[in-house]
């Protein structure tokens, strides 16, 4: 199967469309799935797993430098949990209780698909409050 894949050629437009689909966040993939189902009665196999499969393939590593949107993921809240909870509340617009649950469920995605500059700003603010953050 890998030999057949290595010799396959694809149109540039198809490659671009495939790359866009493979880079979708989970929320975006769900929205696309809903749209295709509503507008064209097309349902993805296994609830969208087909769309997510290319992301696990190591072949997409070359596209990583071109990434323009990032997910801000809190991996630890550190010793100043209350400060981190308050900041998460401000960033997400959620209630204090929702923010506390989110922070306590680390690793937790605070924001999805944000521009690089905003993601770096959010990361530095969370780290200043005592949290540990990864940009994915």
Structure confidence by residue, pLDDT tens digits, 102-131: 999 989 999 998 898 999 999 999 999 999
| Last-in-domain residue among 19, 37, 63 | 63
Confidence of residue 6 (pLDDT cuts 50, 70, 90): low
Of 19, 117, 1, 129, nearest in space to 74 by CA? 129
Tell me the CA distances in angstroms from 135 to 15, 21, 73, 95, one per residue in order. 26, 20, 6, 24
* Three-state SS at 29: helix
Cα separation of 136 and 130, whole Å?
19
Q: Is the pTM of the predicted complex or chain greater than 0.85?
A: no
13 is in which domain, residue-wise? 2-63
- The DSSP letter of residue 100 is H
Tell me, yes or no, whether 36 and 78 share the same domain: no
Tell me, yes or no, whether 74 and 128 share the same domain: yes
């Amino acid at each position: 199967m890998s030999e057949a894949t290595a010799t396959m050629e694809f149109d540039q437009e198809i490659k671009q469309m495939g790359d866009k689909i493979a880079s979708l966040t989970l929320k975006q993939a769900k929205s696309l799935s809903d749209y295709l189902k509503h507008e064209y009665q097309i349902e993805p196999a296994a609830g969208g797993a087909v769309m997510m499969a290319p992301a696990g393939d190591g072949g997409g590593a070359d596209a990583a430098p071109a990434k323009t949107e990032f997910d801000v993921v809190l991996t630890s809240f550190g010793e100043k949990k209350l400060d981190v909870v308050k900041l998460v509340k401000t960033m997400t617009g959620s209630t204090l209780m929702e923010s506390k649950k989110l922070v306590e469920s680390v690793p937790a995605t605070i924001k999805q698909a944000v521009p690089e500059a905003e993601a770096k700003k959010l990361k530095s603010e969370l780290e200043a409050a005592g949290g540990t953050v990864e940009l994915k």
